[in-house]
Amino acid sequence: MNRRLGFLEAVGASTEGALEEVGGLAVLLGESLGFLLQCRLRLGETFAQAYFLGVGSWSIVILTSLFTGMVFSLESAVQAVQYGVGSLVGGAVAFTSARELGPMLSGVVVAGRASAAIAAELGSMVVTEQIEALDALGISPVRMVVLPRIVALVVMLPLLTILGDVVSIAGGMWLAKQIAHIGYASFLQSARSSVHMSDFLLGLVKAAVFGIIIALVGAYQGLRTKGGAAGVGQSTTRAVVSSIILIFVANFVLSYLLFGYHR
């Protein structure tokens, strides 16, 4: 009986914690949007964050997209040629890259880098009283440090996703030629006939949502930091884990809604 109660208590506590986190994220997003609607965005800081969080992530996005596109092509091209449908490989690679692989890969790798960086920076600002100093000066920490990071990632993650899409398709195309002797023209023709512009654009919408998630979760965990260096480490870990989980959940929901599966 006691063990069952303990289990129920643990489930209750986890649910309460999750709801508290969702509520906190919603409040933070609401405050940020409020400042954005008042046109009180700090442009200089936003450009600096766009460079640090976005431009600084291009190499890992290229590497992960290249190899993922190549491995997807490797698996599909060999099978497709065996069944005599090699002409479909380009479409499969491009379709998957535009809708799923591009935004997801960019989201996850940027989450690992940017969410951790945001949580660590803001967590350090909390433990060194810099956030409290902003409050004491009558300056909103949300406007100063959260909003620029959200806007930076909402702009930069779709751009990184375009880069990831292109590299992933190019990698897949090169490998299909090497492994299954599928010509570039045939690959591109298949890609063009299978993928519409809306697939790319909706993939970019997903990326923008992932950008909000990464910045928001990183900032939320950073601002909740308690204690010293150990607290910053815990916030950083929580930020990465939470943002990646939320990206996967959001990806499913967005795919279901955006690509018309709910109709």
Residue 136 touches another protein, criterion: CB under 8 A: yes
**189 lies in the binding site for another protein (CB under 8 A):** no
Amino acid at 224: R
- State yes or no: residue 79 binds another protein (CB under 8 A): no
In whole angstroms, the minimum distance from the beta carbon of 129 to another protein comes to: 4
- Applying CB under 8 A, which of residues 46, 130, 186, 189 lies at the interface with another protein? 130
> In sequence order, what are the residues at sequence separation of 6 or more whose Cβ sits closer than 8 angstroms to the Cβ of residue 94?
169, 172, 190, 191, 194, 195
Q: Note whether 229 binds another protein by CB under 8 A.
A: no
Using the rule CB under 8 A, which residue among 135, 193, 205, 248 binds another protein? 135
Least distance in Å: CB of 125 to another protein?
A: 8
Of 56-64, 122-130, 159-167, 248-256, which segment contacts another protein by CB under 8 A? Answer: 122-130
Extract the tokens encoding 227: 């204690």
How many of the other CB atoms lie within 10 Å of CB of 115?
A: 32
Cβ neighbors of 66 (< 8 A, separation 6 or more) are 167, 168, 170, 171
How far apart, in whole angstroms, are the C-alpha atoms of residue 4 and residue 243? Answer: 31
Binding status of residue 75 toward another protein by CB under 8 A? no
Instruction: Give the separation between CA 160 and CA 137, rounded to whole angstroms.
Output: 37
| AA identity, residue 204 | L
Token pair 């023209």 is found at 185
Would you count residue 129 as binding another protein (CB under 8 A)? yes
Residue placing its CB nearer to another protein in the complex, 5 or 137? 137
- In the complex, which residues of this chain contact another protein (CB under 8 A)? 125, 128-130, 132-133, 135-140, 144
